[in-house]
């Protein structure tokens, strides 16, 4: 991580040895773009399809939530303090793939004579030890508590009227005129959370520091796997109370209904590219425990033809249902009106394509975003709103989800 900071394009993915999440690698580091694609939302998926096909190699990058505007007649007109491009992917010159005790190194031919020198440099960097050099960040709320309740009541009115039956409503916490140390901040966040889809992304002066627990979508051979999260409960230091909180989540009618609504949406999305009769719910509403929270996760799979382009699988399921709601288009329209911040990379996805057309992408949640030039730091949290939602409970759930990011930034 420390060695990689000399490059403008860096993506580090870490599963944190988390069991049960079908990771192909324990960790991946991709650095230094040989080729890349960076674009706004207009025709973005077609451009990505062409780039991925022509490159025919490992490519790493991200999809912002606002690529919804490429897929439907939607818009993103809310405030944006981060200014990430809508889509970015790159073909790395240098790639490190870690699985168990095996490190596989793939360098493009133009730089393959640099391997030994790079390894020597990496070995000479001392082990990371956290420090307290970062100054505490003063966090502001984009939506204050009273306004949050007003907006949630508006969302509930849409649900009661039948416009939608679920929507993910998000709010931003931010700091202006603020400088943070990205690697140190990421390491602290990762140490607190230890999630299965941790990500450090650097694109010139823009950074994503992510402790995501959620997989968006994975392709392995002809199998597609999607694992939406819906349903959250806080942890407790008291073992008996912690088990009780987990059991309450497992038995919560409201949380289960949230999850099942999104499972139905994902099944429908996957069916657009699936071979007939191949969409299956492998796991429904199973509760997994993470350092910060308990989460309810479902696993849906499908089979696709060899002729199906991998980008078509993504574009037909994007944005992921867990971050939109249902029906998806109606929910996204209402979200745009009620939210105050352009989501950008938050609630988008980060991941990679392999040379044999497999892919794996997370959901960008529990993440700190940073524009170093603008000195702007941001993290957003949200929750699924259904007819049974209580505004105060939803607000408290947001604070639980924000806890790790706030702790790290406030030092």
Examine the residue annotation and report whether 230 is marked as an active-site residue of this protein: yes
Bridge partners, 326 (sequence order) = 166
Examine the residue annotation and report whether 246 is marked as an active-site residue of this protein: no
Token pair 């392999």: residue:
354
271: exposed, middle or buried (Cβ count in 10 Å: 0-12, 13-18, 19+): middle
* Active-site option among 166, 172, 184, 214: 214
Locate the DSSP E strands across 158-291.
166-175, 197-203, 206-212, 215-220, 223-227, 229-234, 280-289
* Active-site option among 230, 342, 401, 403: 230
Q: Please give the Cα distance from 245 to 250 (Å, whole number).
A: 9
Q: Compute φ and ψ for 83, nearest 5 degrees.
A: 60, 50
3-class DSSP state of 252: coil
Which of 278, 185, 158, 151 lies closest to 225 in space, CA to CA? 278
Which of 366, 379, 196 lies closest to 288 in space, CA to CA? 196
**According to the 3-state scheme, what is the secondary structure of 280-326?**
EEEEEEEEEECCCEEEEEEEEEEECCCCCCHHHHHHCCCCCHHHCEE
Kindly write down the DSSP assignment for every residue of 347-359, as one continuous string: TSEEEEE-TTS-E
Which of 54, 397, 41, 366 lies closest to 214 in space, CA to CA? 366
Q: Catalytic amino acids?
A: 214, 230
């Amino acid at each position: 991580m420390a060695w990689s900071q000399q490059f403008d394009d860096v993506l580090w993915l870490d599963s944190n040895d988390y069991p049960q999440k079908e990771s192909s690698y324990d960790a991946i580091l991709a650095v230094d773009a040989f080729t890349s694609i960076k674009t706004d939302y207009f025709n973005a998926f077609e451009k990505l399809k062409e780039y991925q096909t022509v490159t025919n190699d490992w490519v790493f990058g991200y999809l912002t939530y606002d690529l919804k505007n490429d897929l439907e007649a939607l818009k993103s007109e809310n405030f944006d303090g981060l200014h990430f491009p809508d889509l970015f992917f790159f073909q790395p010159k240098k790639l490190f793939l870690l699985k168990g005790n095996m490190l596989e190194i793939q360098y493009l031919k133009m730089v393959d004579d640099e391997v030994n020198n790079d390894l020597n440099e990496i070995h000479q960097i001392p082990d990371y030890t956290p420090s307290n050099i970062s100054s505490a960040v003063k966090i502001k709320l984009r939506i204050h508590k009273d306004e949050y309740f007003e907006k949630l009541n508006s969302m509930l009115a849409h649900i009661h009227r039948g416009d939608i039956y679920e929507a993910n409503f998000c709010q931003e916490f931010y700091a202006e005129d603020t400088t943070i140390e990205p690697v140190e901040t990421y390491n602290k966040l990762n140490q607190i959370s230890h999630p299965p889809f941790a990500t450090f992304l650097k694109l010139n002066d823009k950074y994503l520091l992510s402790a995501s627990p959620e997989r968006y979508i994975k392709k392995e051979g002809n199998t597609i796997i999607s694992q939406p999260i819906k349903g959250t409960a806080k942890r407790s230091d008291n073992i008996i109370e912690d088990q009780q909180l987990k059991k309450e989540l497992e038995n919560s009618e409201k949380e289960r209904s949230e999850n099942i609504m999104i499972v139905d949406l994902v099944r429908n999305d996957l069916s657009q590219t699936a071979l007939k009769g191949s969409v299956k719910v492998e796991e429904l509403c199973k509760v997994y425990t993470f350092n910060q929270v308990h989460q309810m996760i479902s696993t849906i799979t499908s089979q696709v033809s060899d002729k199906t382009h991998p980008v078509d699988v993504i574009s037909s399921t994007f944005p992921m249902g867990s971050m939109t709601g249902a029906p998806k288009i109606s929910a996204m329209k209402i979200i745009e009106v009620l939210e105050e911040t352009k989501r950008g990379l938050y609630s988008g996805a980060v991941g990679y394509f392999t040379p044999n057309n497999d892919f794996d992408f997370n959901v960008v949640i529990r993440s700190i975003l940073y524009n170093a030039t603008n000195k702007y730091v941001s993290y957003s949290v949200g929750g699924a709103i259904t007819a049974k939602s209580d505004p105060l409970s939803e607000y408290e759930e947001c604070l639980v989800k924000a806890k790790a990011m706030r702790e790290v930034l406030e030092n």
